[in-house]
Structure 1
Amino acid sequence: MKLFQAVHEYAQNWATVTAAHWQKYPNDKTPHVIHVETLNRSVDPDTGVLKTERLILCRQPCPAIIARFLGSDDVSYVLEYSEVDPQHKVLRAVSTNLTYHNVVAVNEELTYSADTSQPHLQRTQFKQSAQITAFSMISRISGYVEEFCVKRFHENAQIGKRALEQVLEKLDQAKVAATSTTHLPM
């Protein structure tokens, strides 16, 4: 697992920055994002929190060896959940890739919050973190393979023990036979 973190301060107020967040795609600076579809959106009547679920379609080439192994193209889907709290001036979005999640899982979190340390400056704090876990599928397979091998090793060890015991019996019988033939009366 690898971690990524970034922080940034925008010189604009929180309302402007969060409005820009919703309009970020499509954008010539981010050509890998092909389409964003809003799946669900609701406002909590008690808190005013806006909850949104979006599906993001991206075109991002993966390493050739992975593409050959998976037979994949370069289109992937990302599911994003976000909450905008206008009272506390915080937008939090979490996303995860849906495509090949069992091969490479990318879990990202974005937070935009009003800078309350100097409210007169009208700045917005941005924090981004991502947790990237590669080949989680293989670790499950490797666990299965390890269990299979341990079981097979145990079975083979039992067979090997019985085989050695059989050889020892034959050696004992041969020894007894040799001893009895050397002591024959004359």
Structure 2
Amino acid sequence: MDHSLQSCFQLVGWSLRPSLTSGFGIQAILQSKIRMVKYFCNSTDISSTWDQVFSAFWQRYPNPYSNHVLTEDVVYREVTADQQLLSRRLLTKTNRLPRWAERFFPSGMSRCVYIIEDSIVDPVNRSLTIYTWNLNHTTLMSVEERCIFRDSAEQPSTTLLKREAWISSGIYGFSRPIQEFGLARFKSNQVKAMKGLEYALSNLQGEAHPRLLRDTMKDASGKAKEAAKNLASAAAATPQKPQQFI
């Protein structure tokens, strides 16, 4: 672990080895300072079994939709007496800031965000619960997320996903626009996260990923149209020599 990350953990008082009675999952999130927050919630049906989703969750990085995820490391893992699997992972992510937000970042401050991801696998009740939150840049913006994957009792071969997020900012006078930006960015990233999970599922099932194929074709089509437009513009701007007839 690099020195800057060690300093970050010391500053916020986090340990890589959490206590099972405190400092793990939602209990850790609730330790954060209460602020006015933006709240997000949605539910999704995934057309795969819980076992497949559980396996894909651990294999979703890297994928074509996760370029903003730089690193991932498992820093703690334990099986409890009731056979639940507790894991803590550390992820490093980067997200480009809008120009107006640059003023809140001192020059030289890292643009990388350290993310803690706590997960609880309950094989008896067939659920996977994930809590994530950022360790640094919390004054600018704090994003706390909870995802619950459950086996569907009514729909065979279907997994139910409920995703919640709480977005807050401690920048006086600018917290509202920062929260609005954070909410919009979160919505965009959760779409990418679902695409990445679908990509991992298709790899596990040995299938070509249809969404990736569609996205690739759409991107290629867009580039071709843009190239044709540029050629047409260049041709129109180039003065034509008068034709001579013999």
> TM-score scaled by structure 2?
0.52
Q: Which runs of 5+ in 2 are unaligned?
A: 1-36, 174-246
The answer on whether the counterparts of 2:104 and 2:140 sit within 8 Å (CA) in structure 1 is: no
Q: How does 1:1-186 map to 2 (within 5 A)?
A: 1-44=37-80, 46-71=81-106, 72-118=109-155, 121-134=156-169, 136-138=170-172
The residue matched to 1:3 in structure 2 has which SS? strand
Deviations along 1:44-88, one digit per CA (max 9) or x if unpaired, are 1x2110000011110111222332322244311111111000000
Q: Count the aligned residue pairs.
A: 135
CA distance in 1, matches of 2:100, 2:172: 15
The answer on whether the counterparts of 1:67 and 1:73 sit within 8 Å (CA) in structure 2 is: no
Report the identity percentage: 27
Deviations along 1:99-138, one digit per CA (max 9) or x if unpaired, are 21122110000111100123xx22100111100012x253
The residue matched to 2:172 in structure 1 has which SS? helix
Root mean square deviation of aligned Cα? 1.5
1:38 aligned partner, one-letter code: V
1:22 aligned partner, one-letter code: W
The answer on whether the counterparts of 2:126 and 2:150 sit within 8 Å (CA) in structure 1 is: yes
Deviations along 1:146-185, one digit per CA (max 9) or x if unpaired, are xxxxxxxxxxxxxxxxxxxxxxxxxxxxxxxxxxxxxxxx
Q: Which runs of 5+ in 1 are unaligned?
A: 140-186
CA distance in 2, matches of 1:99, 1:93: 19
2:161 aligned partner, one-letter code: F
Q: Tell me the equivalent position of 1:183.
A: none
CA distance in 1, matches of 2:83, 2:113: 32
Moved more, 84-93 or 27-36: 27-36
> TM-score scaled by structure 1?
0.68
Larger radius of gyration: 1
Q: Which structure features the higher share of strand residues?
A: 1
